[in-house]
Structure 1
Amino acid sequence: MERPTPSAPVLVTGGTGTLGQAVVAELAARGLPARVMSRTAAPGVTGRVVGDLASGAGLDAAVAGVRAVIHCASDPRHAKQVDVDGTGLLLTALQRSAPEAHLVLVSIVGCDANPLGYYRRKHETELLVRGSPAPSTLVRATQFHELVATVSRVLTLGPLGLAVRGLRFQPCDPAWVAAHLVRVALGPPLPARLDLAGPEALSLAQALRLTARAAGHRAPRVVTVPGWGRVWRGFAAGSNLPGPDAVTGGSTYAAWLAHRD
Structure 2
Amino acid sequence: MRIVVTGGSGALGSLVVDEARTRGHDVTAISRRTGVDLATGDGLTEAVRGADAVVHCASNPRKPGPVDVDGTRRLVEALGPQTHLVHVSIVGCDASPFGYYVAKTKAEEILANAGVATTVVRATQFHAFAAMIAGALTKGPVALTLRGLAFQSVETAWVARRLVDHAEAPRPDGFVRATDLAGPEVLTGADIAVRLRRHAGRKAPHVLGLPAVGGAMRSFAQRTNLPGGDVETGGCTFDEWLATT
Instruction: Provide TM-score, normalisation by structure 2.
Output: 0.96
1:83 partnered with 2:76: no
- Residues in 2 aligned to 1:245 and 1:124: alpha-carbon distance in whole angstroms: 22
| 1:33 paired residue number | 26
| 2:181 paired residue number | 196
- Residues in 1 aligned to 2:177 and 2:27: alpha-carbon distance in whole angstroms: 26
Q: Deviations over 1:54-107 (max 9, x none)?
A: 11010111101211000000111221111111111111111xxx2211000110
1:132 partnered with 2:109: no
Structure 1: unaligned runs, 5 residues or longer: 1-5, 42-49
- Residues in 1 aligned to 2:78 and 2:139: alpha-carbon distance in whole angstroms: 48
1:132 maps to amino acid? A
Partner SS for 2:194: helix
1:123 partnered with 2:105: yes
Tell me by how many angstroms 1:160 deviates. 0.6
Instruction: Provide TM-score, normalisation by structure 1.
Output: 0.90
Structure 1 residue corresponding to 2:209, chosen from 211, 224, 227: 224
Q: Deviations over 1:17-75 (max 9, x none)?
A: 1111111121122122210001134xxxxxxxx21101101011110121100000011
- Residues in 2 aligned to 1:56 and 1:135: alpha-carbon distance in whole angstroms: 20
- Residues in 2 aligned to 1:165 and 1:223: alpha-carbon distance in whole angstroms: 9
Tell me by how many angstroms 1:194 deviates. 2.5
Structure 2 residue corresponding to 1:146, chosen from 128, 141, 144: 128
| 1:185 paired residue number | 167
Partner SS for 1:51: coil
Tell me by how many angstroms 1:211 deviates. 1.2
Q: Deviations over 1:131-158 (max 9, x none)?
A: 1121110000000001011111111100
| 2:10 paired residue number | 17
2:68, 2:107 within 8 Å by CA — same for their partners in 1? yes
1:39 maps to amino acid? R
Aligned length: 242
2:15, 2:157 within 8 Å by CA — same for their partners in 1? yes
Structure 1 residue corresponding to 2:222, chosen from 218, 237, 245: 237
User: What RMSD, in angstroms, separates the aligned Cα atoms of the two structures?
Assistant: 1.1
- Residues in 2 aligned to 1:11 and 1:24: alpha-carbon distance in whole angstroms: 8
Structure 2: unaligned runs, 5 residues or longer: none
Identity score, percent = 48
- Residues in 2 aligned to 1:100 and 1:240: alpha-carbon distance in whole angstroms: 34
Tell me by how many angstroms 1:189 deviates. 4.0
Larger mean Cα displacement after TM superposition, 138-147 or 26-35? 26-35
